Chains A and B, each alone.
Chain A
Amino acid sequence: MSLYLRFKQWRDRAKENWNEGQVKRSIFRVGIPNTDRKRVLVVLGNVFLHLHPTKVRSSSVRLRFTWCAGGLSFFLFLVLTLTGVLLMFYYRPTVENAYTDMKDMANVVPFGIMREMHRWGAHAMVIMVMLHMFRVFMTGSYKPPREFNWVIGVILLVLTFLLSFTGYLLPWDQLAIWAITVGSNMAKATPVAGVAGPFSEFLRIGGVPLIHPGDDARFILIGAKELGGITLNRFYVLHCVGIPLAAATLMAMHFWRIRKDGGISGPL
């Protein structure tokens, strides 16, 4: 037998072994979904696909109806999580290191576009979430029984802004600290709880003010009287752990409710 034929024989046997064997069956339970039964099973049996029902309204799978805006918002969140984790390998949230780590990420780290992917992805996510809200409004998809899911969506919109806002400080350049200064100065003006806000001067015991720069709303936000290392650390933790956890939890609720409220909306 020629060498070629023996190779072919071996290849066919290997293929057969793989197709019939224990390994493949343990990973892909269903096989190629070429029958309706298998189409159901593949969606039900896969942890990622089972977010979907097995069948959806024909009106709501069309691109012109959903614009894929919600799905892409979620996808961008995943991209941001992945690139964010990669950035965390190189970035140290201290006043001494933050800026130089940024420079290193652009100039020293191989394939140095992770920061670009993260930053542009973040802007894209904000735009995408806004478009998603606009689409949901224009199709009246917030109406009963989906009222509460709209509310969750509004909170997710706010969390998206906060994620972007806390991330804005981390490069520790002029753009970062002054944008956050403008933003956090607003907290100073919180009625009652902010030192420059209305009525905070009313809160005093024996002439001693209860609300002062060391305990007002801005202090709680930035962790100090002025923007500094503490603020950087605080925003870093919020950006990488606190808000993503909250957002992920609410996203799980959001997706679950879509299914429980009857899927992507369609005419009644």
Chain B
Amino acid sequence: MLDTIKHLIDILATPWLSFTLTIVLCFVALRLRWVWTKWFLALVLLGVTAFLWIGFNDPYAGLILKKADNAPIVIMLYTFPLFLWIAMIQAVQNDKRMEEGGAPEEKSLSDQKTWVWPDLVYIEFIAVILCTVALVVWSLTVPAPLERPANPGNTPNPSKAPWYFLGLQEMLVYFDPWYAGVVLPCIIILGLCAIPYVDVNVKAQGYFSFKERRLAIGTFFFGFYVLWIFLIITGTILRGPGWNFFGPFEEWTPHKVVALNNVNLSEFVWIKLFYNKLYAATGIEWFGQGLPDVQSKLPWEDLGNFGRCLKREFPGLVALGFYYLVLPGLLAKTRCRKLYQQLGWARYSVVILLFLTMFTMPLKMYLRWIVNLKYFVATPWINF
């Protein structure tokens, strides 16, 4: 029985499945009111507890979950659903009040004022005491991790970054380091900074709400819960030696062999489509030329080589050009017409570029899982 449950969890934890489930659950839950009740919260926290209980008693999962520096992940498994619920239940209640023509709960209280001394000062005092007690108890019971002395000659497998960067390390599976490790974090920081300047819905502030801010909250959920928290948990619990995937109850064996048969977009087009299909069907010479040969030289050293590179990578370049240059315009005319009218062209451009950049992540992840896509554009100088 227990083994069946463990096996089931291992299967559910498969990256493509758990990622899809997280997205679906996140967005279905946002729309369902009955999710935001005490019973459902109790069920979720009970589920987490059950998972941890099974995990702590499992020889393999126990190794990961009991590791001292993974304590934040265990805490996150509780706190993030809990605070998500605390935020959403108030949002749902406020939405209901406003549907019935009332004002949010905070509104009735915000006209009144409370003395800082004693009311706020005592809340702060109690919070600080509780926080200190929790920290001291945590410190007394769990010793801080100290492994063997640093040895540059002995690389642990897997080598993991601190837990809050594991989402980015997980992206390294799908993108080159220049994008996942440098450009993407910069865009994330800039994107976060841009939020208050592109959100033109200035009215819904100072209270929890969802209905008035569907797009904003939906986007933030996707970025915060799916692409950050979920990937951190994946990187901590589900990634073992060689950064290969292991279910929580699987043994971390360094001998797991995963076939690397990832294929570039250019190979799909030039070989699988042009050569195998079109050349065989039509016999036109041009389709039969295969992948253009590209050397690793600087572009201006050999212009012919550079031209061949552009020719080889034209499918990816066209796709990227379409994605970043044509798609925003198309969306402004069709699905996002209202958004475009609300935001104006400047804000809309920023929003849509950030949005599309965010979506390069799930896009690449799914293309990797479905067709083993390696790069959209692969040149000797830069890969994407």
Measured between beta carbons, the chain A residues less than 8 angstroms from B136 are: 113, 117
Measured between beta carbons, the chain A residues less than 8 angstroms from B123 are: 61, 63, 68
- Among the interface residues B90, B123, B162, B180, which one has the most CB atoms of the partner chain A within 10 A? B162
The size bracket of the interface on B is 35 or more
B334 within 8 A of A: no
Measured between beta carbons, the chain B residues less than 8 angstroms from A118 are: 144
Q: Does A127 contact B79, Cβ atoms closer than 8 Å?
A: yes
Q: Please, what's the 1-or-0 string for A129-161, where 1 marks a CB less than 8 Å from any CB in chain B?
A: 001001101111111101100110010011001
Q: Does A79 contact B115, Cβ atoms closer than 8 Å?
A: no
A173 within 8 A of B: yes
Q: Does B192 contact A154, Cβ atoms closer than 8 Å?
A: yes
Q: Does A120 contact B144, Cβ atoms closer than 8 Å?
A: yes
With A131-B83, A173-B146 as contacts: A150 and B195 at CB distance below 8 Å: yes
Q: Does B75 contact A117, Cβ atoms closer than 8 Å?
A: no
Q: Does B220 contact A137, Cβ atoms closer than 8 Å?
A: yes
Residues of A108-128 whose CB lies within 8 A of B: 113, 115-121, 123-124, 126-127
Alpha-carbon gap, A153 to B72, bound state (A): 22
B234 within 8 A of A: no
Cβ-defined partner of A52 (8 Å) among B104, B120, B131, B201: B120
B205 within 8 A of A: yes
The size bracket of the interface on A is 35 or more
Q: Does B182 contact A197, Cβ atoms closer than 8 Å?
A: yes
Measured between beta carbons, the chain B residues less than 8 angstroms from A243 are: none
Nearest CB in chain A to that of B69: its residue = A175
Q: Which segment of B106-114, B269-277, B358-366 sits at the interface?
A: B106-114
Q: Does B103 contact A175, Cβ atoms closer than 8 Å?
A: no
Measured between beta carbons, the chain B residues less than 8 angstroms from A119 are: 144-145
- Among the interface residues B83, B180, B224, which one has the most CB atoms of the partner chain A within 10 A? B83
A10 within 8 A of B: no
Closest chain-A Cβ to B79's Cβ sits at a distance in Å of 7
A-B contact count (CB 8 A): 274
A191 within 8 A of B: yes
Q: Does B206 contact A268, Cβ atoms closer than 8 Å?
A: yes
Instruction: Tell me if A's interface is mostly helix, strand, loop or mixed.
Output: helix
Alpha-carbon gap, A115 to B168, bound state (A): 27
A242 within 8 A of B: no
Q: Does A183 contact B162, Cβ atoms closer than 8 Å?
A: yes
Closest chain-A Cβ to B184's Cβ sits at a distance in Å of 10
Measured between beta carbons, the chain A residues less than 8 angstroms from B148 are: 173-174
Q: Please, what's the 1-or-0 string for A202-230, where 1 marks a CB less than 8 Å from any CB in chain B?
A: 10000000000000000000000011000
A171 within 8 A of B: yes
Alpha-carbon gap, A191 to B86, bound state (A): 42
Closest chain-B Cβ to A26's Cβ sits at a distance in Å of 20
Q: Beyond A157-B192, A175-B147: 7 further Cβ-contacts under 8 Å? A: A68-B123, A124-B75, A140-B204, A175-B145, A182-B169, A183-B165, A227-B152
Task: Return 25 A-B CB contacts under 8 Å, by A number.
Answer: A33-B117, A49-B117, A55-B114, A58-B113, A59-B108, A59-B110, A68-B123, A76-B131, A102-B146, A113-B136, A113-B139, A118-B144, A119-B144, A138-B208, A140-B206, A143-B205, A150-B196, A161-B164, A161-B165, A164-B162, A171-B146, A175-B145, A186-B180, A201-B298, A227-B152
